[in-house]
Chains A and B, each alone.
Chain A
Amino acid sequence: MNQNKKESTASENTGISNRHMKRQLVITFGGALILLLSGEAAGGGRNAILGIVLGYGVLLAYLWILVKNRKEIQDLVVSGNILKWLMRLFYGSFLVLTGSFLLEKTSQITKIYLSANMNQNLVRILILTAAVIGMGSDTRKRARMGEMAFSLIFWGFVLLLILSAVHMRVPDGTQMPPLDARSVFFYGYQYFCVGSITSLYPFAYTKIKGDPNQTWSIGKAWMILSILFGATVLILLGTYGYPGVKSMELPVLNLMAGTNLPGGFLDRFDIIWMALLLFSLLFSIGSLMFYCVKIFLPENCGLDSEKREGYTRGILVAATLIIWVLSIVNFRGMVIEDVYMRLLKFFYGPLFVIITLLAGFRKKGDQ
């Protein structure tokens, strides 16, 4: 019999590929972008749409630099006694803050839309437990989860947008704020800051097959996300109009509730979109804890498997507890959702970029 043109052993099937990475990125960011940021972006009208395009363009350039310097970024959490702990602290603090923000938002939405009579603290605990147990710390497991869930979540969102689009009218431009470079820059910067969270990826993927295509794979993932996000913003504006969107807290939930299936055999099926969103958010929260392990316990930290397993459990438990505590902390009336976006825009986002650039300079210096 003829040999097959694609030859290699079956055991190689357990590797991680660019496709895995792309799919994971879409699921990790998809739910959070559509649910939490689309309303705010729609409130920016046409400026926000242009901002997304601008943000994506800048992000693409940044991703190119990031992929080029990924090895140096990986080294940051293992080299130098003080530097490695500073870096671990920086990235770790970002992960737990993001986790607690997402947890808070997810538990709020779950309580309002899915389990009205449940104690919110119980909801938080359940979400965290499921996220940490379901995701774990195995890179290949996460890759397979992402691959499996991608089609469901991606096509689910696409169907939501298609079904919502039938209710759209051409947005009334006169009701929107005029085109303004400052606003475009603001929304673009905000979108870029969210995208800069991708800076964490080098810690998890020390071995990705097909390395030369990494920039394009991550770029493609962000292109899919930008199209989904942009389309959601457009549909929100077309469906509710600029004033309508401004008056809603999370207009995408209203969008979900307003969709109808042809034939009308279900009265409302926003519950299905909610389930998809929740799934995506669980993936995001689980991913944050997964990254905690990768940052505090890098692949090349030189521990044997037994010790590693013990430390992994310890890190996951600690991250879970910190995220939970931060999500319930109320400091002088301020909760995590009041400060998170500001922290991302003015502290973590810029620092991600600075660290990546410094890693690049360090690489050049070494050469």
Chain B
Amino acid sequence: MKGIHSMSEKISHDIGVNERYIRERCEGCADIIIRPMKLGAGVKVRCLVVYIEVAVSNMTLEDSVIGKLINHLWEIPGDKIKEFVADNGLGISDTAEFTEMEPAFKAMLAGNAIFFLDGYDKAIKISSKGYPNMGVSKAESEKVLRGSQEGFSDSEKVNTALIRKRVRSTDLKVEEMMIGVRSDTMVALVYMKELMPPHLLTEVKEKLENFEIDGVLDSGMLEQLTENNWKSPFPQFETTERPDRAAMEVLNGRMVIICDNSPMAVMIPTTFDSFLKVSEDRYNRFEIVTFQRLIRYVAVFIAMGLSGIYLAVINFHTQVVPTNLLLSFAQSRRGVPFPSMVEIILMELAFELIREASIRMPGPLGGTIGIVGGLIIGDAAVSANLVSPMTVVVVAVSALSSFAIPNEEFSAAFRILKFGFILLGGLFGTFGLVLGGFLLLGHLSALSSFQIPYLIPFVGRDKPDYVNEGDSMIRAPLRRMRYRPVYANKGQRVRLKEKKHESK
């Protein structure tokens, strides 16, 4: 796919030629302001400023960089302007010179003002505040009790700054690249040069350069386009909207990919285990963190399998449960017209509907939907004998467990698989569940993220470069978490060491 203006024009000495080209190219773009001016004391020199209206809204104000430049140009003689710009134009702010139209246009479309001067065959980019964005706000989808409340914003520059704020080292590298033939979306690769294995950078760049697309509007599109096993329901990229988590992972030797216009940073490589960690796991004591992690693992199992196991037990293996419980199951199902599998599927679908509706509904109404769905529909369905109370309990516990999984994309994979296990458990009992478990294990074993097996650290513990970082299902005390994960660069595994003070 070729860009619309892939042939770049040279910037002319004659500002008239430049203006004609710009006006022709920007025809129909009402938001792009092309403002010719005559500047200079005495002999006037023709100048031209091109910018996007909202992105550079304050340019006439005294405190804007370009405003100050123009005001200054009023005061110096016209024949000195060219010399002044050539000598000082780049010294005033974040500016750049272009000799061709294409990069100048790219800079303008990125939210900067472009300044042309008659008799000068270069354009000058003068940065401005850029496009409007939401700014730094609270992280909504990864809430924590302890730790920073800051969340990523929509701006790539702001997001990289939020990481830099936490890792103030020149070893933290930020490589920018443009993706999207028409959207020209800025994507930043953030990593610690010393800690990240070098092959990761090459591999990521190769993958990003492997496709041409019209526009990338969110990091989610990058994820899907660069995943190895794109048919898998399991995400092979981990996302976060928390700068502290991103900074922590950069220090672990991972790479963080930030996409402009997306408040979600993508972290690679990714493992099954890393999806069950949250940023405050490092800030709290190891006993409670270990307990919470075990709960999350159990939640994964329940979210995926509870409904299927329930069906297998009540349809095929009633001998497993004690008689009293079995009688209670049977009593609760009295009068329900549907087979238990249909009942469970209906309730699970109802839950998914409620979930979808509450996400799409405006703020206060979202909560209301949850109450209406949970209490009224559940209670009414039981009263109307459409479902049994036990089914409601099973579906509710399964739903609760899916919410306990910290990462939404990861949780979604289990929500989808749950329906498979419902069918297997309902139709074939334990036999079906074992078949499903075998297939799932086979699938997960085949997955890898940038050469790191998805199931590490449960597999690959005997590899020569494996060291127990003490940060898996069981989290070691912080003093014992001395090593970085297996994906960190070789020779840079030590994260923590005690300083030896000689006693005098």
Contacts and interface: CB of A to CB of B under 8 A. Distances in A.
B442 A145 contact: yes
A361 to B, nearest CB: 35
A271 B428 contact: no
B1 interface: no
Nearest to A279: B434
A6 B437 contact: no
Nearest to B486: A10
B491 A3 contact: yes
- The 7 closest A-B CB pairs, nearest first, are A134-B442, A4-B493, A144-B445, A8-B465, A130-B435, A11-B451, A114-B431
Interface in B389-447: 428-435, 437-439, 441-446
Given A14-B451, A115-B429, A271-B430, A265 B199 contact: no
Contact of B435 (A19, A127, A274): A127
A264 B322 CA distance: 9
Q: Is the interface of A mostly helix, strand, loop or mixed?
A: helix
Nearest to A147: B459
B134 interface: no
A267 B318 CA distance: 9
B232 interface: no
A136 B443 CA distance: 10
Interface residues of B, number: 53
A115 B453 contact: no
Contacts of A265: 322
B320 A10 contact: no
B316 interface: yes
Interface string A241-281: 00000000000000000000000111111010011001100
Interface string A1-39: 111101111111111011110000000000000000000
17 contacts: A8-B463, A8-B465, A9-B197, A9-B490, A14-B448, A15-B463, A20-B462, A114-B317, A115-B428, A131-B438, A133-B439, A134-B442, A138-B446, A144-B445, A145-B442, A266-B322, A278-B430
A327 to B, nearest CB: 17
Given A10-B452, A110-B431, A149-B441, A267 B464 contact: no
Contacts of A114: 316-317, 429-431
Given A147-B458, A279-B437, A133 B442 contact: yes
Contacts of B463: 8, 12-13, 15, 17
Interface in A50-98: none
A339 interface: no
Contacts of A11: 197, 199, 451
Q: With a 10 A CB-CB cut-off, give which of A267, A269, A279 has the most chain B CB atoms.
A: A267
A6 B464 contact: yes
A149 B442 CA distance: 10
Of B430, B441, B486, B487, which is in contact with the most chain A CB atoms at under 10 Å from its CB? B441
Contact of A145 (B319, B431, B445, B452): B445
Contacts of A313: none
Contacts of A13: 451-453, 456, 460, 463, 465-466, 486
Most chain B CB within 10 A, of A10, A17, A126, is at: A10
B430 A275 contact: yes
Contact of A267 (B322, B437, B442, B460): B322
Contacts of A135: 442
Contact of B441 (A3, A7, A20, A148): A148
A25 to B, nearest CB: 15
Nearest to A276: B434
A3 B494 contact: yes
B494 A148 contact: no
Nearest to A210: B462
B458 A148 contact: yes
Contact of A268 (B320, B430, B439): B320
B169 interface: no
A6 B455 contact: no
B20 interface: no
Given A144-B453, A268-B319, A282-B434, A6 B428 contact: no
Contacts of A358: none
A6 B497 contact: no
B320 A1 contact: no
B339 to A, nearest CB: 14
A271 B313 CA distance: 10
A266 B320 contact: yes
A41 B356 CA distance: 58
A142 B453 CA distance: 12
Contacts of B495: 1
B492 interface: yes
A141 interface: yes
Contact of A118 (B320, B428, B430): B428
Given A13-B465, A134-B441, A147-B460, 18 more contacts: A3-B493, A4-B490, A4-B494, A10-B487, A18-B462, A118-B428, A147-B459, A148-B455, A148-B458, A148-B459, A149-B441, A266-B320, A266-B322, A267-B321, A271-B317, A275-B430, A279-B434, A282-B435
B471 to A, nearest CB: 15
Interface in A125-166: 126-127, 130-131, 133-136, 138, 140-145, 147-149
A80 B357 CA distance: 67
Contacts of B316: 114-115
A153 B467 CA distance: 25
A17 B445 contact: no
A186 B199 CA distance: 57
Given A4-B493, A144-B445, A148-B459, A130 B439 contact: yes
Interface string B463-477: 111110000000000
A126 B435 contact: yes
Given A3-B494, A13-B451, A126-B428, A141 B446 contact: yes
A6 B467 contact: yes
A278 B494 contact: no
A88 B252 CA distance: 48
A205 to B, nearest CB: 15
